Chains A and B, each alone.
Chain A
Amino acid sequence: MTAVRRFDEKARRGFGKLGHTTIHEGELFRHPVYTRFLHWTSAILFFLALLSGLAIYSPWLFHWLTPLFGGGPTTRVLHPWFGLFFVIIYAFQFFNWLSLMRWTAADSKWIRRLKIYIGGKERLEPEYVGFFNGGQKLQFWEIIGGGLVLFITGFLMWFPEIFGRIAVAISYVLHDISALIMLFGIWIHIYLSTVGEPGTLEAMTRGTVTRGWAWTHHPAWYSEATGRDPRADHQRAVDQQKKEKEREDRDSDLIAESR
């Protein structure tokens, strides 16, 4: 485990030399270059595997995808390679995020109030939500579990002459189920990281988030990263906003009076 940590640190430092993260006033550092690189390479490979896989899964719906990969046979040849490279890249992400993704009591607590989270009326996340919330961790472990199943079953189907017809017949069902679960999950992932919770995408593109984003969605991480109280800082921001609004109103009243 220490070897893994040492490797991760080395990789992070190496990628940090290749690129850099600019942290502006009022922003917090969230994802280093290494994490961002792994995220986007695995995202590209995931979609290549998904699109080529869908063309094989349901040709009567998705045969129009095969020309993207050079026709049916080439799609079939490329698909396992996309999958294999996705697994390799994501294996690095697995070690990179392993310590952050460890399931805690706070995550179980978060999952129990999933309904409130989906309802979206409570604008501030509970104070125990750390760097990743329970949902994000669930998504991560679903990708790890699903990816493992896809990898093993995909391997069996790649070499049917070694593993036999029954292995293929079973693998193909498990392969499909895992892919469908991951497909379902990816909608939620893309939605929440873009329009669902604005400000999240920047964490993976520029590597930073605003302080407001941090105390809203990950209060425990906010206090960890800044050493400050997320609720108090939030209250201060609210008060300031109120004060500004009052001043604005006063100014516009004065302007109206002077006319």
Chain B
Amino acid sequence: MATEQTLQIKEISAHRGPVPGSGAVRELEVAKLVDVTTCIGCKACEVACVEWNDHPFRETVFDNTYQTMPTTEWNYYNLIKFSETQRDDGSLMWLMRKDQCMHCADPGCLRACPSDGAIVQYTNGIVDFNQENCIGCQYCISGCPFNIPKFNQTTKKVHKCTLCSDRVGAGLEPACIKACPTGCLHFGTKQDMLQIANARASQLRDDALFPLPNAGVYDPQSIGGTHVIYVLHDITKPEAYGGLPANPRIPPSYVIWKYLAKPIGLFIALMGLLAVFFHYIFTGPRLSQPEPTVEREEQL
């Protein structure tokens, strides 16, 4: 758990005039901005992530690209996805996208999780897993539209990018941001990041030499926006960037079923107990016939 507030002065001794910065409200929501157009695929962020989280450097998988492995892993939160596609005119586009948890405003993993306290969302937008409360059911994996949470078969726990909640809580930027040599990664308030991203996108669109008319900002509203946003060359084809979904969605079963039908269903099933109890109270047992004779039968 991290505190978002650093010290803020309330009163100053023998000070003339108002307290500087008094009444200022901190923007709490943070965001990571990945400007895909300036990523050079150096993987410094991958190494920084592995180092800060104290993960061993795991085995890599070669799949005819520069990519370290096919997907993120339980101890490899951050992965540059390399994909080669063609423009309409047949020329090559070599795309590199930093893939990690998107820290959705409406997190599918949290919606799907049945365990108390295994997944939390902080007010600053970071979605974090508490492994000590994880029961290893892997529902979060099926709730995630970005295929991010990964299961550790040995410990039976699920892990993913924390957006360096431990660093952010201490007022530092995430490790990946610190390592980026090109300025492709930015970190700050969500508002500021959106502003920078939009400015960058319009710069790309209006470029005199090499304009990208479809350049735009990826902040999918179908899940209430994300706390990792991208500037893409072509916002109409996010799938080209290693399968970034254009319209990420949480399976409806994790919303309607979990919060509405589930409690009602359980209530009805438990009512079965009450039903048989009152059946007994109303009609009594059905004894083998002939039953011991009765004096008379009350008809009420």
Q: Measured between alpha carbons, how far is A237 from B293 in the docked complex, in Å?
A: 12
Q: Which of B127-147 contact A (CB under 8 A)?
A: 133-139, 141-144, 147
A57 is an interface residue with CB less than 8 A from chain B: yes
Partner of A120, one of B137, B253, B272, B286: B286
Minimum Cβ distance to chain A for residue B133 (Å): 7
Q: Measured between alpha carbons, how far is A61 from B265 in the docked complex, in Å?
A: 14
Q: Measured between alpha carbons, how far is A73 from B180 in the docked complex, in Å?
A: 38
Minimum Cβ distance to chain B for residue A237 (Å): 5
Q: Measured between alpha carbons, how far is A195 from B283 in the docked complex, in Å?
A: 12
Q: Measured between alpha carbons, how far is A145 from B251 in the docked complex, in Å?
A: 25
Minimum Cβ distance to chain A for residue B223 (Å): 15
- Contacts A180-B266, A241-B290; A168 near B133 (Cβ below 8 A): no
- Contacts A160-B141, A165-B141, A180-B265; A57 near B114 (Cβ below 8 A): yes
Give the residues in chain A near B268, CB-CB below 8 Å.
180, 184
Q: Measured between alpha carbons, how far is A172 from B252 in the docked complex, in Å?
A: 12
Interface residues on B, range: 35 or more
Give the residues in chain B near A72, CB-CB below 8 Å.
115, 133-135
- Contacts A176-B257, A237-B290; A166 near B142 (Cβ below 8 A): yes
Interface residues on A, range: 35 or more
Q: Measured between alpha carbons, how far is A165 from B139 in the docked complex, in Å?
A: 8
Give the residues in chain A near B290, CB-CB below 8 Å.
212, 234, 237-238, 241
Minimum Cβ distance to chain A for residue B142 (Å): 4
A256 is an interface residue with CB less than 8 A from chain B: no
Partner of A169, one of B251, B284, B286: B251
CB-nearest residue of chain B to A117: B286
Give the residues in chain A near B156, CB-CB below 8 Å.
73, 76-77
Give the residues in chain B near A215, CB-CB below 8 Å.
289
B: residues with CB less than 8 A from A are 112, 114-116, 133-139, 141-144, 147, 151, 156-157, 251, 253-254, 257, 261-263, 265-266, 268-270, 272-273, 275-277, 279-280, 283-291, 293
A: residues with CB less than 8 A from B are 56-61, 63, 72-73, 75-77, 118-121, 123-124, 157, 160-161, 164-170, 172-173, 176-177, 180-181, 183-188, 190-192, 195-199, 210, 212-213, 215-217, 234, 237-238, 241-242, 245
**Apart from A169-B112, A183-B270, A192-B276, what are 15 other A-B pairs with CB-CB below 8 Å?**
A72-B134, A75-B135, A76-B135, A77-B136, A170-B253, A172-B142, A172-B257, A173-B257, A180-B266, A184-B269, A191-B279, A213-B288, A216-B286, A217-B286, A237-B289
